[in-house]
Amino acid sequence: MATMKDRILQLHRFVVDTVRHLDWLPALLARVTLGVVFCQSGWGKLHNLEKVTAYFTELGLPHPELQAPFVAGTEFVCGWLVLLGLFARVASVPLVVTMLVATITAKADELKHYGDLFGFTEWTYLALAVVVIVHGPGAPSLDALLARVFKLTPSAPGEEKPLTRMLGRGLTAAFAATMVIVSAWWFGASHNPCDQVKDARFAELVKASQGEGDEADEAQGTCKQILGWIKEGKDPAAELKKEEEEEAPSGE
């Protein structure tokens, strides 16, 4: 008579044996998601280069007139390559870089808590691109077809060259070290710019920034302006008053 343990093992085996026939599906979903998103994004940017250039200028990126067409073309071409599964591993690398830059530049202001990062679509696309880089585009891809035609197979663990083994372990160590350093910095550093404002004239502003909601977000944005004025050697109180007067209705 089968024991409870035997039944659990049988159920586990049944589930694993069934689901492993779908091992081609995750890579396909990742590829289609990335490909469609970046094909559309790149195509849209290519047809609105002036707007993209202006946005890159606003973000403070160097040489926006060159970066705009480069990023647009990269997204469009790499998106198609990933979608088709042709040189998908290589094509996913620029997409990772693009999403990293987008997160650092366009999304930095929205990172108020370390958990916010995982809610960004940029992070989701980055994670999917890493899946394609590490695990490949899967069986339903042009890369898999080329591998079958040219009989391309990865080396067995015992036949791996010392150089590739060293590079692989180096990348693993570098990635692990980066995660530790970034995590330590994130938990140790303050991400409220108002914490750097020591002028007593802005005590109420600093207090408001420690709350929640739109008021806190607005206060933190103002503190960033104040820090910028201080860096430029200007009186932040005077600059803030001047800005308020410019925004006030003309009848007041």
pLDDT of residue 188: 65
pLDDT of residue 250: 55
Cα–Cα dist 224/226, whole Å: 5
pLDDT at 113 over 80: no
Measured CA to CA in angstroms, residue 228 lies from 41, 129, 221, 233 at distances of 33, 36, 11, 9
* Bigger pLDDT: 45 vs 230: 45
* Bigger pLDDT: 224 vs 17: 17
| Closest alpha carbon to 132 in 99, 159, 156, 101 | 99
Q: What is the pLDDT of residues 166-214, one digit of tens each?
A: 999 999 999 899 888 877 777 666 677 888 888 889 888 888 888 877 8
pLDDT of residue 21: 94
Q: What is the pLDDT of residues 202-252, one digit of tens each?
A: 888 888 888 877 888 888 888 888 888 888 888 988 988 888 888 766 544
Q: What is the pLDDT of residues 125-154, one digit of tens each?
A: 999 999 999 999 999 999 999 999 999 888
Cα–Cα dist 83/92, whole Å: 10
Q: What is the pLDDT of residues 80-108, one digit of tens each?
A: 999 999 999 999 999 999 999 998 888 87
pLDDT of residue 252: 47
